[in-house]
Amino acid sequence: MMKYCSLLLSVLVLFSCSDDEPTAGCFQDEGRRIVTIVNNINGTVIFNGDCGYLIDPDERLDRNPTSVLFPCNLEIEFEVDGLKVNFSGFIYESFEFEDICADFFEITDIEIVPDVQ
């Protein structure tokens, strides 16, 4: 019986640790779901007085209606207006009744793009 319980517990642990779905870290208290995952996109950090620091992608992203991103977890070292970055992350849904200045975004990876002259 003990071997059976150990085997069952091992199987449950193995299947519960799957990385198939992205793990969200922002906007859970607002009930938002991830609508798009972006990987290795270049963009520019911009400062908007009403919204704070945003990321303006160099290319149009799927499910990004405002064309700019509001990162919930932009580290202070990246809060530089005009900074060129390469980033990955999750775009979250917005609700029809909201008046937003940027799409909700969570950074999973970001780095400064070297200035090539």
pLDDT digits (tens, 9 = 90+) for 64-74: 888 999 999 99
Domain CATH number, residue 100: 2.40.50.500
Range of the domain at 56: 32-117
Overall average pLDDT of the 84-95 stretch? 95
Overall average pLDDT of the 74-95 stretch? 96
Domain assignment of residue 96, yes or no: yes
H helix and E strand count, the chain: 1, 5
Domain assignment of residue 86, yes or no: yes
User: Which pLDDT value is given to residue 79?
Assistant: 98
Domain assignment of residue 84, yes or no: yes
Its pTM stands at 0.77
Top pLDDT among 3 and 99 is at 99
Domain assignment of residue 98, yes or no: yes
Domain tally for the chain? 1
The long-range contacts involving 27-33, CB below 8 angstroms and separated by at least 24 positions, are 27/72, 27/92, 27/104, 27/106, 32/92, 32/93, 32/94, 32/104, 33/92, 33/93
